[in-house]
Structure 1
Amino acid sequence: MRLGLSTPVVAQVPGSAAEWESRADISDLALIARAADDLGFDYLTCSEHVAIPAADAASRGAMYWDPLATLGYLAALTARIRLATSVLVLGYHHPLAIAKRYGTLDQVSGGRLVLGVGIGSLTEEFALLGATWEQRAERADDALRALRASLSTATPRHHGPYYEFKDLRLLPHAQQDRVPIWVGGRSRASLHRAVTLADGWMPFGLTVKEIRNLVAEVDLPAHFDMVLSAHLDPQRDPAATAAQLEMLRDAGATAVTCTVRADSSQHYCDQLAVLHDLKGR
């Protein structure tokens, strides 16, 4: 089971983000990224919101760094750790735009992209961006097929109900022959989308029991990633941290996205060192 990080600072959701993150700057993010890379953590994440309506900011937060710029910066600071969007909203982008932008990120990072995607849930943001809310799930399915047809080739072709293209050149494209695609969501439909069109599922807002029940309904493909999440405080309670990771492993997690309690960026790095040691036991 691999451990990744829900990168602090870059997304500050009320009730989850620590107080120090509101004062942090790029040097704090650089410190954490280098520490995670040196310790051997598997991936860093960055999520996507373009503009949060003021009425939703109290619950969703207003601070969201752009994932392409952020992960490109982190790629230059690190050597091994993977760079995961968690998640990119498919309806906000044409698949070819994703393939070009994030394929370029895969190139400049040496093949370290993980493309986490979702169908989106904030109707007001769709409206602000002029994106289509109706049939967004069906559009996302077509976008996933189009992405698989275009991420790793200079000559993409796709014919679908919402996206169609051929006779073009897409350069640069992703370095990886198959970019891992993880689907975020909390529904049976999101799991089905992940199993049939992607390489992993990132459930959120569900209990372990609910996740087990949903997964029991499907046959998971070989090498399919189950990316679960955990809030951890390894220094204060190493036993509870180890127990939580073990519970998630038993639930089928192949990777865990960790939110780590900390009082500063240096404390966060100290927590990572303890977490790394606990995982190695």
Structure 2
Amino acid sequence: MRLGLSTPIVVQVPGIASPWEATAGPEELTRIARATDELGFDHLTCADHVGVPAAAATVRGATYWDPLATLSYLAAHTSRIRLATSVLVLGYHHPLALAKSYGTLDRLSNGRVVLGVGVGSLAEEFALLGAAWEDRGTLADAALTRLRRAWGRREVEDFVLEPHAVRTTVPIWVGGRTRRSLRRAVTLGTGWVPFGLEAEQIAELLATVTVPEGFDIVLSPGAPLDPQGDEADSLRRLTALRDAGATHLTCTVRANDAGHYCEQLAALRELVDRKLR
């Protein structure tokens, strides 16, 4: 399994984010990103919300750094780790605009972009942006098809998109928690990023489809891990995800500050290498 990071600070969900993240900024973020890069982590992530309804903020959190700006900044401070959107809401963006903006990031980062995409779940945010809520799944499928055709190509639909991504293929991880999201991932993507499901539920859903060769199954343990303080619990939770079919893990860790966060990441890297290889 490849090990990735659900980047702290840039997304602060209650129950997952630590108190120190509320006042952390670019210095702490850079330190953690560089640590993941040096430790050989596969990817780091950033989510996509313009605004969260105030009534939902106590559950979803209110802090969501812009993914394009954030990942562009982190690209300049790292050299190898992949830069994953987790996830872009397709209904909020024109597919050719995504091909241009994230294609530019792909060029700047020497081909390190991973596009995590989803259909969205906040009706209020769709209304805020003037995006179509009804039939958003069907519209997302059409947008994803156009995005795949446009990626890494200079001329698209009689328009020149310059610059563009360095390759005409890109990892596309489809988010969701339903059988339909899994079918969308198998049909139009290269991986699946389920959320809010137990390992047993994920394994049951995966048993309903034929997973293509090389297909990525990107799973998360949910609550932060504590590899230094409770190695046994961390190992138990990661093993359950491996047994459910994970090819990639996207993790967070408990920490008191950025320095402790980096120490926890090193301990997590060592645990995975020692016990799960």
**TM norm structure 1:** 0.95
**Structure-to-structure mapping, 1:111-122, within 5 angstroms:** 111-122=111-122
1:175 is displaced (CA, Å) by 1.0
> Which of 197, 202, 210 matches 1:211?
202
Code of the aligned partner of 1:272: L
- Residue matched to 1:82: 82
1:30 aligns with 2:30: yes
Q: Distance in 1 between matches of 2:26 and 2:75?
A: 14
Structure 2 counterpart of 1:45: 45
Shift of 1:246: 2.1
In structure 1, distance between residues paired with 2:232 and 2:52? 38
> In the aligned structure 2, how far is the partner of 1:116 from the partner of 1:263?
29
Match in the other structure for 2:267: 274
Q: Structure 2 CA distance, aligned partners of 1:247 and 1:205?
A: 15
Q: Residue 232 of structure 1: SS of its match in structure 2?
A: coil
CA distance in 2, matches of 1:53, 1:184: 21
Q: Which position in structure 2 is the counterpart of 1:227?
A: 218
Distance in 2 between the 1:212 and 1:277 partners? 26
2:246 paired with 1:253: yes
> What is the rounded CA distance, in whole Å, between the counterparts of 1:31 and 1:238 in structure 2?
24
Alpha-carbon distance between aligned partners in 1 of 2:56 and 2:235, rounded to the nearest angstrom: 35
How do 1:187-198 and structure 2 match up within 5 A?
187-198=178-189
Superposed CA offset, 1:261-280 (max 9, x none): 11111100000111111122
Distance 1:148 1:25 in 2: 34
Provide the rounded CA distance (Å) in 2 between the counterparts of 1:257 and 1:46.
Answer: 11
Alignment partner, residue 19 of structure 2: 19
Cα displacement string for residues 104-145 of structure 1 (whole angstroms, at most 9, x for unaligned residues) = 000000100000000000000000111111110000000110
Instruction: Please give the secondary structure, in 1, of the residue aligned with 2:160.
Output: coil
In structure 2, what is the equivalent of residue 184 of structure 1?
175
| C-alpha distance in 2 between matches for 1:19 and 1:99 | 36
Q: 1:98 maps to what in 2?
A: 98
Percent identity of paired positions between Structure 1 and Structure 2: 63
CA distance in 2, matches of 1:93, 1:143: 9
SS at match of 1:235: coil
Per the alignment, residue 128 of structure 1 pairs with 128
| C-alpha distance in 2 between matches for 1:4 and 1:82 | 9
Q: Matched residues in 1 for 2:237 and 2:99: separation?
A: 36
C-alpha distance after superposition, 1:230-277 (max 9, x if no partner): 231100012222232222112110000001111111100000111111
Q: How many angstroms does 1:176 deviate by?
A: 2.7
Aligned AA for 1:184? G
Structure 1: distance between partners of 2:190 and 2:95: 17
What are structure 1's unaligned runs of at least 5 residues?
157-165
> Which residue number corresponds to residue 162 of structure 1?
none
Q: Which residue in 2 is equivalent to 1:161?
A: none
Q: Which residue of 2 aligns with 1:109?
A: 109
Map 1:134-213 → 2, pairs under 5 A? 134-156=134-156, 166-213=157-204
Q: Secondary structure of the residue that 1:116 maps to in structure 2? A: strand
Q: Which of these residues, 251, 259, 262, is aligned with residue 255 of structure 2?
A: 262
Q: Aligned partners of 1:247 and 1:122: how far apart in 2? A: 30
Structure 2 runs not aligned, ≥5 long: none
More divergent stretch after superposition (63-72 vs 11-20): 11-20
Query: What root-mean-square deviation, in Å, do the aligned CA atoms of Structure 1 and Structure 2 show?
Result: 0.9
